A = this chain, B = another copy of it.
Amino acid sequence: MNAIENVANVAKLDIGRESRRSVPEMIFAEGKSHDDLLAICKRMLEKNGRVIITRLNEQQLDELQNQFKAYHVQIFPHARAMVVRRKDYRGLQTGGRVGVLTAGTVDLGVAEEAVMIIQEMGCQTFLEADAGVAGMHRLIEPLKIMIENDVDCLVVVAGREGALPTVVAGLVDVPLIAVPASSGYGYGGRGEGALMAMLQACSLGLAVVNIDSGVAAGVVAAQIANRVARARAAH
């Protein structure tokens, strides 16, 4: 039996058959022509009843909004992202709950990407912006909201020195996905400083995704929340 023959055995496995479907496909608009983008969106709307589009520029965003007047269109302005649904489309409601915190308002674009994909994966989201550590008192109200809503997972976005996830993970006991944002300047300012800080975090209980990657954080957070929600629902 050669190398390839061995691989065949994997076929007997049956991992994530249905759940895999719950990670929706997304359209990355950057660099796509209007016609191509429109064609792809229409094809996905036909197939799935819904299409998710990220990294649109101003013009693309306006054009698509015009094209899809017959649909339900949801805009995420800071992320320049968009979800279009057939009016009869029924989204998933899993019962998962994810909190999203940002250190500054400048990080809202990254946070909105996370919010969008988490919601499209069926979870409820709780977004609180501008909870940065330079003024610790700004952190209290947002954290209270997260705890009162008993979130299953936290996504925490921070640029600059990226200290917020460390501080939050030292105060709460919820799995935390940290997202470094490129909202810094000078040495380490394109997100490397925040990335290093999050990987070095003194607090335990957090893991990290790549710089500015709201989508990557959102998917893993939703997977965590959905697994919890399935256990809750299995009564």
Residue numbers of A with Cβ under 8 A of B are 2-17, 19-20, 22-23, 103-104, 132-141, 143-144, 147, 152-153, 159-163, 166-167, 169-177, 180, 182, 184-189, 191-213, 215-217, 219-220, 223-224, 227-229, 231-232, 234-235
Q: Note all chain B residues with C-beta closer than 8 A to A194.
A: 197, 200
A210 with B185: CB separation less than 8 A: yes
The 7 closest A-B pairs by CB, nearest first: A8-B11, A16-B173, A6-B137, A188-B196, A186-B211, A193-B196, A163-B163
Q: Note all chain B residues with C-beta closer than 8 A to A135.
A: 3, 6, 170
A170 with B136: CB separation less than 8 A: yes
CA–CA, A17 to B201, complex, Å? 21
B136 with A171: CB separation less than 8 A: yes
Q: List the B residue with the shortest CB-CB distance to A152.
A: B227
Which residue, A103, A170, A211, has most C-beta atoms of chain B within 10 A? A170
CA–CA, A19 to B16, complex, Å? 29
Number of copies of this protein chain within its complex: 8
B202 with A133: CB separation less than 8 A: yes
CA–CA, A201 to B173, complex, Å? 26
Q: How far is the CB of A96 from chain B (nearest CB, A)?
A: 10
Q: Note all chain B residues with C-beta closer than 8 A to A167.
A: 133, 136, 163, 167
Q: Which of B186, B188, B210 contacts A213 (CB 8 A)?
A: B186
Q: How far is the CB of A16 from chain B (nearest CB, A)?
A: 3
